[in-house]
């Protein structure tokens, strides 16, 4: 027979034990929820990044060779042009200038003078004609007389001479008339008003300018019909399939860059990054104030695109791109996100998760690229690390991935 | 000669006899009254202090800011109907160098007129004076900042004002109604050492920022009865061409908003907890009184036989309850007054008023007292009436022994396992299940209060983890003074110690959904960001789609939006486009009401090239000082915020205060638990004294006899534990829903150890009661008890 | 009932027992030096008016109270200065009590009330046997509420004797009962005394009951005023009061 005491102890022991177990169980350390990522072997690319702009390798500016009236340029930016064939602009002579009142009066006076001079010249022609007629008649008479030997040789010569000189004088007077006629025309032409000029579209006494190169029109400077001076740029053309990228790199970055280095071109608006190559690094540095307001020494770096033109057809001149010059790359680097790293004393460390527990693990880090950091020692492929560990995570603390 | 009427003498002696129980009940009432009084008193203190301060220092009603506006615009602003007084200022931010402090420090530079005192938003000088007219380097510091760095009148400090390093001489230390709650732009909590306010001469500031003859900040005080919204509207219209981003009324001014928010929360708190305590107190008084009267049956009969009427008898017992409750109320008043004072002192640290007026009005105390007395009386009413109705003769007869019938029997098998004493325990419980359940419920309430209080610590932990570590993964956040091209991020990436950079662009905007609208900062982020990560309620990442808004749930709820709904976004900057974007995703966060969009979409909408104004950095701690130096030397860098400092500040400010309040509420809960358990046991002891004495006579030891009482209590407590945990979880949900404000939401998360701790504390309290009751059992005067009639 | 042939040993002996209560300024002398001896198997009746000290003596004999002075021995062992523990053991193992108001545990059945005691006794009889002894063998499962006053009292007696104590102390066992029921109760006490040989002490203010005892001690004013022997013990049925 079990004693009363024992019965009590057993019964209460069970109950209290149950409660104690529940309480103790509630105090078991709760795993801290964390975000886990596996260290993975993946390609790592260390780059120097900069913003750049596309530029046509060669831009051809078509400018007016002479002053004149450039007709309206119907070509628009983007239109295709063919070297030598496509007429890109037409220049026709300009209309004469206006005269002010004084000049006009002078011109009119000139016209009147010229008219008078013409009249005078005509009159002189008449006179010369008359004199010639007389000289001719005299000569004839002299010749008739010569046949009959009635006149002296000298007289015949004089008559011939007189005739010839009168003929020359007539020619002179006629020429003078012509000169006066032209002078009158000149004086009259000064009175020509530009308003009387009639431009005819289809008939164009123009100078045609042809495209120097095949490609596209880049920019039209003078679209509308206008009077241009010699040398005024009219439009620019270029071959958009011949683009290069120009970036202003910090000189301290530019020294790390060599021609031939691979370049990744991003941020150009397309879906996929483009492949490029460093073509040259200009030797001259220049000062530029950065976006942060700091003066820096920069160097131009030129990058050529290596992908087929089809893939970046939509890129134009002066478009913004981001270039990433590959300084170092590898196909297989064990990487973790940078948000998993923290300092443990002088070394870098991560919290690696194994069997539901966080372990403080020192690591050696190699190269960095963007958010990825190469781990050269301390972790193996597939090891899971905790991203952005909170203050609750410590060595030996149970954790659970969310 | 009698001093007291015999009934009153009896009353006094009864009270003395019941002093331990009375104390327990009084303490419970005191807890409820204390919390109610203190919450309301603090609310009064904060409100009164704020109102007075605002009035005296002429705190503005409407605030507007612009990029740059000419002074002559003020005439037109003044013409807006309803505007009584207006004042324009230059308000800018600057980096401050403080000796011996390496972390970045920024200050809001606020201009004060050179030749006269400010008209509106007047700084209140604690020490020193305003700068003398013509004193170019004079500056007045905000008190919290000065205290944080031990700066005094006459000291010199250096500030980087628009790229130029200038020395400033401290002429005074002041407080301001605009900065009662001093937070850095975009900050959460006051960080006295990293953000402060500096008042300087207007001409100096204007010259430094190229705002001569212009202003960038205007405050208005409106006439009585003026419609604030209309004024804000018209002010907006006037300021828009000058870069105005939307004027705000006083209620949205950050400092004031925080103060009012706190008051709202206190009012909530004042509602829930005291109710719990007072309900339990009412229940206890009922229990105590009913059983007390039951044990005094014969006395009651005697009184009535002697000719005392029903009303007199009932009033006699009512007086007992009133005295009991009265003691509790007085204790509660004292405690409430003290707790209110203590809370006020704590608030003085967070809210910088010149003095915090703690003059609690009578109202909270009267209210609390009336409610408590009412509750206690309500509890006792039934019992008193029953006593009064007993016919005298019946009262004086011993009542028949309690009837136990077959229904109360244990099964034969069970009988084998239970000894007689245990059977007494079980039969007692089974015979009066309702009473046992009510007692259990009282204890369960204590467990629930404990769970609720301790849960605050769990919630804080989750909030910090979620906001500062899960969402924010950067070490440093750099805010630029103005928008800059996105290429800035390459530059920042080259600074010493920078491991990774991501750039954001923040624009002020008005979000509209039909008639609902809110002014928010829309943050443009990269689509693949790792330094700021958004998660939904399940913990899965929320990606940023190329188009559409990613909105926090709170904001979505406020605007009554769900996924896919279109939102009209009126951008208040730049070209001020109005775009319609759908809500692409909703995420959860406990702090703030952020809304995100893909940065490229934002640039597109504004017609801008890639532009940024904020940079998030992951930094190598070994080089952080060099980084600070480099950032300081960069003119376009405005503010530098450290995550580590924010976390520490959060912990110091909130967690510390939380600990105090948790401790207070844990004590309340213990009072509750002990009050219920102790009373229950004492009453049982007095009801069943004869039975227990008989057992002693029969040769049971004091311990065995205690077992009969304690076993019963133990079972009730053990049953109460799981019930209490469930009640606690429900209470946590209730509090969490009530505490929801726009700044914080308290996650209703309860760690298992919180339940464990709550149960342990209640168990410990019960054990303590058990020890006290056991001592009484040991001291039972057997002979006296046996001699009295049942 | 044959008188003892040889002097049987005293099971309980008290010498010079006094008990004084201090109530405020007044001293109440409940017992003023009482000598008493109880022999094995005796049935003694303590007679006297209320306040005469008989209950006080009973309490001291039963280990419920300490005498202010004097000596009490049970089977040679000193009781008067024993500590709480020893007194509890004394009561547990050696004494059975019967009170005027039954003092049964309302939440236990008749059998369980008796079992209460047998569970902690060293050499008890079974509860069923004890109840049979008092004529309630068929009411094992009844709760006190279902029993009459007399039945309750008899259960109390069964409870008191189930542990086979050496001494049975009864304080006004019939005080709350009518004469008929009282007889039944007294019969039970007598049977226990006769069959089990338990020394029984019965307090009463009713002189009629004295006739059933071996010895009658009269009390007055805190002292034994008279001691008498009954040559013949009457059966309870024959008693009149």
Tens digit of each residue's pLDDT (9 = 90 or more) over B610-640: 899 999 999 999 999 999 999 888 878 888 8
State whether the Cα torsion C82-C83-C84-C85 is positive or negative: negative
pLDDT at A202: 55
Closest residue of chain B to C90, computed from CA coordinates: B699
pLDDT-based confidence at B774, cuts 50/70/90?
Answer: very high
Contact B401 C97 (CB under 8 A): no
pLDDT reading at B37 higher than 80 = yes
Burial of A203 (0-12, 13-18, 19+ CB in 10 A): exposed
Rounded Cα–Cα distance for residues C19 and C69 (Å): 7
CB pairs under 8 A between A and B: 125
| Cα-to-chain-centroid distance, residue B489 | 40
pLDDT at B790: 41
Per the CB < 8 A criterion, the answer to whether B54 and B177 are in contact is yes
- pLDDT, one tens digit per residue, over B3-14 is 667 778 778 888
pLDDT at B399: 61
**3-class SS of residue A78:** coil
Rounded Cα–Cα distance for residues B436 and B423 (Å): 16
Candidates B695, B764, B762; CA nearest to B425 is B695
pLDDT reading at B528 higher than 60 = yes
Is A4's Cβ below 8 Å from some Cβ in C? yes
User: Using CB atoms, which chains have 3+ pairs under 8 A with A?
Assistant: B, C
The average pLDDT across B296-307 equals 73
pLDDT at B56: 94
Collect all residues of chain C within an 8 Å Cβ-Cβ radius of residue A4. 119-120
pLDDT at A375: 93
State whether the Cα torsion C74-C75-C78-C83 is positive or negative: negative
Q: Where are the domains of chain B?
A: 1-59+257-399, 60-256, 417-471+644-790, 498-619
The average pLDDT across B325-352 equals 87
pLDDT at B433: 86
Phi, psi at residue A390, to the nearest 5°? -80, 180
Q: Who has greater pLDDT, A320 or B273?
A: A320
Is C95's Cβ below 8 Å from some Cβ in B? yes
The label of the residue with tokens 């309900």 reads B279
Whole-model pTM over 0.80: no
Q: What is the number of other CB atoms lying within 10 angstroms of the CB of residue A11?
A: 15
- Give how far C214 is from chain B: nearest CA, Å: 26
- Residue B51 tokens read as 């109102």
Closest residue of chain B to A250, computed from CA coordinates: B491
CB pairs under 8 A between A and C: 3
Collect all residues of chain A within an 8 Å Cβ-Cβ radius of residue C119. 3-4
Q: Report CA-CA distances (Å) from B704 to A111, B425, C86, C165.
A: 151, 12, 15, 20
Question: What percent of chain C has a predicted confidence (pLDDT) above 70?
Answer: 96
Chain C residues contacting A via beta carbons under 8 Å: 119-120
Per the CB < 8 A criterion, the answer to whether A215 and A78 are in contact is no
- Residue C175 tokens read as 């005080």
Contact B405 C108 (CB under 8 A): no
- Residue B439 tokens read as 């007692």
User: Using CB atoms, which chains have 3+ pairs under 8 A with C?
Assistant: A, B
Residue B652 DSSP symbol: I
Contact residues, A window 353-382, toward B, CB-based 8 Å cutoff: 368, 370-371, 373
pLDDT reading at B180 higher than 80 = yes
Of B473, B484, B494, the CB nearest to A291: B484
User: Using CB atoms, which chains have 3+ pairs under 8 A with B?
Assistant: A, C
Rounded Cα–Cα distance for residues A69 and A227 (Å): 4
pLDDT reading at B786 higher than 80 = no
Residue B178 DSSP symbol: G
User: Which residues of chain A fall short of a pLDDT of 50?
Assistant: none
- Find all residues with CB under 8 Å of B331, minimum gap 6, and list them: B26, B27, B29, B30, B33, B34
Q: Which of B467, B494, B770 to mutate to test the interface with A (most CBs of A within 10 A)?
A: B494
Of C88, C93, C99, the CB nearest to B786: C99
DSSP E strand boundaries for A168-240:
207-210, 215-220, 226-228, 233-238
Collect all residues of chain A within an 8 Å Cβ-Cβ radius of residue C127. none
Contact residues, A window 194-223, toward B, CB-based 8 Å cutoff: none
pLDDT at A1: 56
Rounded Cα–Cα distance for residues B353 and B47 (Å): 11
Largest CA distance in chain A: 202
- pLDDT, one tens digit per residue, over B632-662 is 888 788 888 999 998 998 888 777 777 888 8
pLDDT-based confidence at C6, cuts 50/70/90?
Answer: low
Contact A291 B464 (CB under 8 A): no
Of B402, B778, B783, the CB nearest to C64: B783
Rounded Cα–Cα distance for residues B628 and C149 (Å): 95
Rounded Cα–Cα distance for residues B81 and C98 (Å): 98
- Find all residues with CB under 8 Å of B91, minimum gap 6, and list them: B65, B108, B109, B110, B111, B216, B217
pLDDT at B15: 83
- Residue B682 tokens read as 């004492």
pLDDT at A196: 57
Rounded Cα–Cα distance for residues B332 and B37 (Å): 8
State whether the Cα torsion B522-B524-B527-B528 is positive or negative: negative
Per the CB < 8 A criterion, the answer to whether B226 and B171 are in contact is no
Contact B756 A390 (CB under 8 A): no
Q: Which of C92, C108, C114, C119 to mutate to test the interface with A (most CBs of A within 10 A)?
A: C119
pLDDT-based confidence at B729, cuts 50/70/90?
Answer: very high
Predicted interface score ipTM higher than 0.85: no
Is C25's Cβ below 8 Å from some Cβ in B? no
Of A26, A250, A346, the CB nearest to B755: A26
pLDDT reading at B343 higher than 60 = yes
The average pLDDT across C75-101 equals 86
Q: Who has greater pLDDT, B323 or B401?
A: B323
Between A120-124, B162-166, B336-340, B381-385, the lowest mean confidence (pLDDT) is in B381-385
- Find all residues with CB under 8 Å of B333, minimum gap 6, and list them: B33, B34, B37, B365, B368, B369
pLDDT at B406: 58
- pLDDT, one tens digit per residue, over B76-99 is 999 999 999 999 999 998 889 888
Q: Where are the domains of chain C?
A: 40-65+88-238
Rg (CA), chain C: 17
Is B420's Cβ below 8 Å from some Cβ in A? yes
Q: Report CA-CA distances (Å) from B21 to B25, B110, B298, C158.
A: 6, 61, 22, 38
Closest residue of chain B to C93, computed from CA coordinates: B699
Between B58-72, B395-409, B463-477, the lowest mean confidence (pLDDT) is in B395-409
Phi, psi at residue A216, to the nearest 5°? -130, 155
Whole-number average pLDDT of chain B: 86
Per the CB < 8 A criterion, the answer to whether A401 and A385 are in contact is no
Of A22, A342, A370, the CB nearest to B500: A370
Contact A30 B487 (CB under 8 A): no
Is A189's Cβ below 8 Å from some Cβ in B? no
Is B503's Cβ below 8 Å from some Cβ in A? no
Largest CA distance in chain C: 54
Closest residue of chain B to A16, computed from CA coordinates: B718
pLDDT reading at B215 higher than 60 = yes
Is B539's Cβ below 8 Å from some Cβ in A? yes
The label of the residue with tokens 């260390």 reads A46
- Give how far C119 is from chain A: nearest CA, Å: 7
- Residues A31, A34, A39, CA angle at the centre, nearest 5°? 120
Closest residue of chain B to A393, computed from CA coordinates: B465
pLDDT at B57: 94
Candidates B777, B219, B94, B761; CA nearest to B479 is B94
Q: How many residues does chain B have?
A: 790
Is B418's Cβ below 8 Å from some Cβ in A? yes
Is B634's Cβ below 8 Å from some Cβ in A? yes
pLDDT at A164: 87
The average pLDDT across B471-495 equals 90
Residue A227, strand partner residues: A69
Closest residue of chain B to C91, computed from CA coordinates: B699
pLDDT-based confidence at C207, cuts 50/70/90?
Answer: confident
DSSP E strand boundaries for B401-493:
476-485
- Find all residues with CB under 8 Å of A301, minimum gap 6, and list them: A50, A52, A246, A247, A248, A249, A254, A257, A278, A280, A281, A282, A325
Q: Which CATH class is domain B498-619?
A: mainly beta
Phi, psi at residue B413, to the nearest 5°? -65, -45
Domain C40-65+88-238: CATH superfamily, name plus number = P-loop containing nucleotide triphosphate hydrolases (3.40.50.300)
- Residue C22 tokens read as 């201090």
Is C82's Cβ below 8 Å from some Cβ in B? no
Q: Which of A33, A292, A351 to mutate to test the interface with B (most CBs of B within 10 A)?
A: A292
pLDDT-based confidence at B147, cuts 50/70/90?
Answer: very high
Collect all residues of chain C within an 8 Å Cβ-Cβ radius of residue A3. 119
Is A24's Cβ below 8 Å from some Cβ in B? yes
Collect all residues of chain B within an 8 Å Cβ-Cβ radius of residue C107. 402, 404, 408, 423-424, 427-428, 431
pLDDT-based confidence at B407, cuts 50/70/90?
Answer: very low
pLDDT at B487: 84
Closest residue of chain B to C96, computed from CA coordinates: B698
pLDDT reading at C86 higher than 80 = yes
Rounded Cα–Cα distance for residues A268 and A319 (Å): 7
- Residues C178, C182, C186, CA angle at the centre, nearest 5°? 170
Rounded Cα–Cα distance for residues C125 and B587 (Å): 77
Rounded Cα–Cα distance for residues B171 and B138 (Å): 6
Element (H, E) at B52: helix B19-56
pLDDT reading at C27 higher than 60 = yes
- Give how far B593 is from chain A: nearest CA, Å: 22
Over the range C190-200, which residues count as b (16 or more CB within 10 Å of their CB) and which as e?
Answer: bbbbeebebbb
pLDDT at B54: 94
Closest residue of chain B to A15, computed from CA coordinates: B718
Per the CB < 8 A criterion, the answer to whether B371 and B40 are in contact is no
According to the per-residue pLDDT averaged within each range, which of A76-85, B407-416, B747-756, C116-125 is highest?
A: B747-756
Q: How many residues does chain C have?
A: 241
Q: Report CA-CA distances (Å) from B226 to B61, B80, B87, B238.
A: 11, 10, 18, 18
Q: List for chain C the helix, strand, coil content (%; round to 5).
A: 35, 30, 40
pLDDT at B715: 92
Phi, psi at residue B627, to the nearest 5°? -65, -45
Candidates A180, A36, A163, A189; CA nearest to A107 is A189
Collect all residues of chain B within an 8 Å Cβ-Cβ radius of residue C145. 400-404
According to the per-residue pLDDT averaged within each range, which of B291-300, B346-355, B376-385, C128-137 is highest?
A: C128-137
pLDDT-based confidence at B25, cuts 50/70/90?
Answer: confident
Estimate the crossing angle of helix B19-56 against helix B656-687, to 10 degrees: 150
Rounded Cα–Cα distance for residues A360 and A381 (Å): 17
pLDDT reading at B349 higher than 90 = no
- Find all residues with CB under 8 Å of B297, minimum gap 6, and list them: B390, B395, B396, B399
Contact B404 C143 (CB under 8 A): yes
């Amino acid at each position: 027979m079990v004693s009363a005491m024992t019965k009590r102890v057993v019964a209460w022991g069970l109950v209290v034990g149950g409660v104690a177990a529940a309480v103790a169980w509630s105090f078991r350390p709760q795993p801290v929820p964390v975000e886990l990522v596996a260290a993975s072997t993946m390609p790592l690319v260390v780059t120097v990044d900069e913003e750049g702009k596309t530029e046509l390798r060669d831009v051809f500016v078509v400018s007016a060779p002479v002053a004149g009236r450039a007709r309206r340029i119907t070509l628009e930016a983007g239109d295709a042009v063919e070297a030598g064939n496509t007429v890109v602009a037409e220049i026709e002579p300009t209309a004469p200038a206006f005269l002010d009142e004084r000049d006009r009066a002078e011109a009119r006076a000139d016209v009147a003078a010229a008219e008078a001079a013409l009249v005078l010249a005509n009159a002189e022609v008449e006179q010369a004609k008359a004199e010639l007629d007389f000289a001719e008649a005299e000569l004839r008479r002299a010749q008739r007389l010569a046949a009959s030997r009635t006149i002296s040789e000298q007289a015949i010569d004089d008559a011939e001479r007189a005739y010839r000189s009168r003929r020359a004088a007539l020619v002179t007077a006629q020429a003078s008339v012509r000169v006066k006629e032209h002078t009158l025309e000149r004086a009259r032409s000064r009175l020509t008003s530009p308003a009387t000029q009639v431009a005819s579209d289809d008939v164009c006494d123009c100078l045609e300018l042809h495209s120097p190169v095949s490609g596209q029109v880049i920019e039209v400077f003078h679209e509308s019909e206008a009077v241009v001076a010699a040398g005024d740029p009219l439009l620019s053309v270029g071959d958009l399939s011949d683009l290069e990228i120009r970036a202003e790199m910090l000189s301290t970055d530019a020294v790390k860059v060599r021609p031939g280095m691979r370049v990744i071109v991003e941020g150009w608006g397309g879906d996929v990054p483009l492949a490029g190559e460093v073509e040259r690094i200009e030797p001259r540095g220049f000062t530029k104030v950065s976006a942060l307001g700091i003066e820096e020494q920069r160097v131009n770096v030129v990058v050529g695109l290596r992908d087929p033109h089809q893939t970046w057809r939509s890129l134009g001149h002066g478009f913004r791109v981001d270039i990433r010059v590959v300084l170092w790359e590898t196909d297989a680097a064990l990487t973790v996100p940078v948000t998993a790293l923290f300092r443990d004393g002088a070394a870098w460390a991560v919290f690696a998760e194994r069997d539901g527990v966080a372990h403080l693990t020192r690591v050696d880090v190699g190269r960095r690229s963007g958010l990825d950091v190469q781990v050269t020692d301390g972790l193996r492929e597939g090891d899971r690390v905790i991203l952005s560990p909170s203050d609750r995570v410590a060595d030996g603390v149970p954790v659970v991935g969310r | 000669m009698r001093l007291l009427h015999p009934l009153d003498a009896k009353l006094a002696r009864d009270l003395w006899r019941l002093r331990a129980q009375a104390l327990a009940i009084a303490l419970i009432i005191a807890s409820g009254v204390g919390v109610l009084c203190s919450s309301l008193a603090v609310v009064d203190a904060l409100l009164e202090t704020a109102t007075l301060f605002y009035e005296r220092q002429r705190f503005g009603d409407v605030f507007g800011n612009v990029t740059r506006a000419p002074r002559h615009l003020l005439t037109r602003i003044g013409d807006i109907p309803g505007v009584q007084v207006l004042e324009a200022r230059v308000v800018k931010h600057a980096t401050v160098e403080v000796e011996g402090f390496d972390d970045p420090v920024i200050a809001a530079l606020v201009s004060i007129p050179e030749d006269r005192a400010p008209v509106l938003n007047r700084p209140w000088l604690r020490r020193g004076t305003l700068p003398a007219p013509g004193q170019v380097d004079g500056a007045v510091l905000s008190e919290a900042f000065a205290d944080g760095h031990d700066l005094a009148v006459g000291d010199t400090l250096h500030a980087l004002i628009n790229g130029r390093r200038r020395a400033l001489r401290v002429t005074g230390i002041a407080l301001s109604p605009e900065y009662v709650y001093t937070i850095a732009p975009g900050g959460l909590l006051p960080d006295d050492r990293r953000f402060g306010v500096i008042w300087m001469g207007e001409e100096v500031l204007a010259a430094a920022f190229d705002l001569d003859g212009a202003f960038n900040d205007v405050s208005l005080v409106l006439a009585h009865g003026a419609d604030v919204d209309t004024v804000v509207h018209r002010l907006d219209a006037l300021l828009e061409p000058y870069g105005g981003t939307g004027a705000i009324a006083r209620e949205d001014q950050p400092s004031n908003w925080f103060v009012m928010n706190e008051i709202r929360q206190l009012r909530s708190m004042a509602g829930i907890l005291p109710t719990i305590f007072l309900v339990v107190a009412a229940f206890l008084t009922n229990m105590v009184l009913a059983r007390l009267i039951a044990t005094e049956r014969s006395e009651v009969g005697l009184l009535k036989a002697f000719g005392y009427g029903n009303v007199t008898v009932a009033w006699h017992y009512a007086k007992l309850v009133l005295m009991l409750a009265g003691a509790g109320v007085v204790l509660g008043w004292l405690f409430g007054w003290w707790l209110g004072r203590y809370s006020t002192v704590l608030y003085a640290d967070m809210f910088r008023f010149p003095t915090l007026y703690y003059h609690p009005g009578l109202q909270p105390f009267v209210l609390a007292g009336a409610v408590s007395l009412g509750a206690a009386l309500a509890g006792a009413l039934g019992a008193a009436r029953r006593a009064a109705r007993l016919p005298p003769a019946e009262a004086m007869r011993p009542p028949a022994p309690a009837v136990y019938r077959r229904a109360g029997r244990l099964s034969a098998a069970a009988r084998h396992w239970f000894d007689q004493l245990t059977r007494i325990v079980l039969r007692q419980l089974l015979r009066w299940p309702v009473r046992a359940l009510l007692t259990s419920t009282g204890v369960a309430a204590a467990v629930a209060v404990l769970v609720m209080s301790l849960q605050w610590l769990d919630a804080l932990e989750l909030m910090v983890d979620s906001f500062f570590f899960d969402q924010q993964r950067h070490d440093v956040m750099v805010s630029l003074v103005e928008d800059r091209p996105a290429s800035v991020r390459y530059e920042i990436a080259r600074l010493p110690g920078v491991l990774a950079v991501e750039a954001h662009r923040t624009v002020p905007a008005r979000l509209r959904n039909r008639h609902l609208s809110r002014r928010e900062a829309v943050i443009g982020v990269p689509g693949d960001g790792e330094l700021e990560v958004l998660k939904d309620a399940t913990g899965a990442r929320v990606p940023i789609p190329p188009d559409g808004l990613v909105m926090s749930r709170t904001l979505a709820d406020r605007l009554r939006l769900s996924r896919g709904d279109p939102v009209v976004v009126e951008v208040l900057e730049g070209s001020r486009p109005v775009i319609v974007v759908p809500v692409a995703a909703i995420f959860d966060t406990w702090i703030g009401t952020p809304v995100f969009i893909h940065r490229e979409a934002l640039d597109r909408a504004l017609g801008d090239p890639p532009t940024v104004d904020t940079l998030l950095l992951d930094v190598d701690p070994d080089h952080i000082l060099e980084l600070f130096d480099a950032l300081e030397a960069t003119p376009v860098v405005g503010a530098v915020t450290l995550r580590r400092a924010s976390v520490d500040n959060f912990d110091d400010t909130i967690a510390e205060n939380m600990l105090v309040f948790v401790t207070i509420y844990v004590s309340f809960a213990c009072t509750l638990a002990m009050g219920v358990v102790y009373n229950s046991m004492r009453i049982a002891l007095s009801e069943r004294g004869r039975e227990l004495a008989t057992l002693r006579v029969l040769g049971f030891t004091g311990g065995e006899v205690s077992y009969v009482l304690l076993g019963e209590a133990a079972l009730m407590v053990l049953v109460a534990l799981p019930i209490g945990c469930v009640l606690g979880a429900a209470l946590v949900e209730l509090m969490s829903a009530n505490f929801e404000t726009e700044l914080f939401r308290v996650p209703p998360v309860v760690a298992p150890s919180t339940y464990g701790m709550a149960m342990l504390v209640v168990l410990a309290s019960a054990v303590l009661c058990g020890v006290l009751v056991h001592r009484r059992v040991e001291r039972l005067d057997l002979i006296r008890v046996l001699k009295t009639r049942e | 009932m044959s008188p003892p042939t040889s002097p049987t040993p005293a099971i309980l002996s008290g010498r010079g027992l006094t008990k004084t209560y201090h109530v405020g300024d007044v001293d109440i002398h409940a017992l003023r030096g009482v000598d008493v001896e109880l022999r094995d198997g005796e049935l003694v009746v303590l007679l006297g008016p209320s306040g005469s000290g008989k209950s006080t003596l009973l309490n001291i004999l039963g280990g419920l109270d300490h005498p202010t002075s004097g000596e009490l021995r049970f089977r040679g062992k000193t009781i008067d200065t024993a500590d709480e523990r020893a007194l509890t053991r004394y009561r547990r193992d050696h004494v059975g009590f019967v009170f005027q108001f039954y003092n049964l545990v309302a939440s236990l059945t008749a059998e369980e009330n008796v079992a209460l005691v047998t569970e902690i006794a060293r050499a008890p009889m079974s509860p069923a046997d004890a109840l049979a002894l008092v004529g309630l063998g068929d009411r094992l499962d009844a709760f006190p509420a279902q029993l009459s006053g007399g039945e309750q009292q008899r259960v109390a007696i069964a409870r008191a004797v189930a542990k086979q104590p050496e001494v049975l102390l009864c304080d006004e066992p019939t005080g709350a009962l009518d004469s008929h029921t009282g007889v039944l109760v007294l019969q039970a006490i007598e049977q226990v005394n006769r069959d089990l040989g338990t020394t029984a002490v019965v307090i009463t203010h009713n002189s009629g009951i004295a006739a059933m005892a071996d010895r009658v001690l009269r009390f007055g004013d805190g002292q034994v005023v008279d001691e008498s022997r009954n040559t013949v013990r009457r059966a309870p049925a024959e008693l009149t009061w």
